[in-house]
């Protein structure tokens, strides 16, 4: 008996739809357009540099390194950061640290005052004994741990972050005014932070 061949075993490509005649050409054109567009956007900053505008002064500072700033105030502030780091890593003893900190703090304050960065009467964060020694006036706001603060409009202590004695406190949850030394809000019962 003759064996019949089934149509299932035939070549699968004969059953698939024939490819469109313009498809390879369309793919080539789209590929060329995509490559040209990508090349254009890559070369755009080189071919057309940005226009310098006189109204934008920030463009002038764009390429400058802040580490190159050698002004008196920057040098003094960098020195303060450096001695803080040296103390934290154990390179400076406490006595040397206090001596250097006093020296560089004075230099920074002189430089800031000279540059007009501090307004007259504004306190740069001087500790209470120094302020009293110089005859500077301090406000009546006091911290329970650190005493009177030299900052005129302070609500919190600049050293520990606690609310100053005469500054009003408010609940973070409901906004109710808190009593002095309150640990919990009287209205909602929420615990009061520092």
Q: Specify if 84 maps to a domain.
A: yes
Check whether 116 has a pLDDT greater than 60. no
Separation CA 103–CA 162 (nearest Å): 29
Q: Specify if 190 maps to a domain.
A: no
The predicted pLDDT at position 126 comes to: 43
27-59, pLDDT tens digit by residue? 999 999 999 999 999 998 888 877 766 555 555
Contact 116, 91 (CB under 8 A): no
Check whether 8 has a pLDDT greater than 50. yes
The alpha carbon torsion through 146, 148, 150, 153 (nearest 10 deg) reads 110
Q: Specify if 11 maps to a domain.
A: no
Q: Specify if 182 maps to a domain.
A: no
88-115, pLDDT tens digit by residue? 898 888 888 889 888 888 888 887 777 6
Number of domains observed in the structure of the chain:
1
Question: Which structural domain, as residue segments, surrounds residue 97?
Answer: 69-141
Q: Specify if 83 maps to a domain.
A: yes
CA 97 to chain centre: 28
Q: Specify if 96 maps to a domain.
A: yes
The predicted pLDDT at position 119 comes to: 47
Q: Specify if 191 maps to a domain.
A: no
Contact 167, 155 (CB under 8 A): yes
Contact 160, 151 (CB under 8 A): no
Separation CA 133–CA 139 (nearest Å): 15
């Amino acid at each position: 008996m003759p064996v019949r061949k089934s149509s299932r075993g035939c070549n699968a490509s004969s059953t698939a739809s024939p490819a469109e005649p313009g498809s390879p050409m369309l793919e080539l054109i789209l590929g060329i357009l995509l490559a040209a567009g990508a090349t254009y956007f890559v070369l755009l900053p080189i071919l057309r540099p940005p226009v310098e505008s006189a109204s934008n002064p920030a463009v002038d500072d764009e390429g400058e390194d802040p580490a190159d700033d050698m002004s008196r105030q920057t040098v003094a502030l960098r020195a303060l950061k450096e001695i803080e780091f040296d103390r934290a890593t154990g390179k400076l003893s406490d006595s040397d640290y206090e001596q250097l900190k006093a020296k560089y703090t004075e230099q920074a304050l002189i430089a800031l005052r000279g540059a007009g960065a501090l307004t007259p009467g504004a306190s740069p964060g001087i500790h209470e004994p120094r302020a009293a020694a110089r005859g500077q006036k301090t406000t009546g706001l006091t911290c329970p741990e650190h005493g009177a603060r030299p900052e005129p409009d302070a609500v919190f202590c600049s050293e520990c972050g606690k609310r100053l004695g005469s500054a009003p406190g408010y609940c973070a949850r409901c906004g109710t005014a808190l009593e002095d030394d309150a640990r919990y809000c009287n209205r909602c019962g929420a615990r009061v932070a520092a």
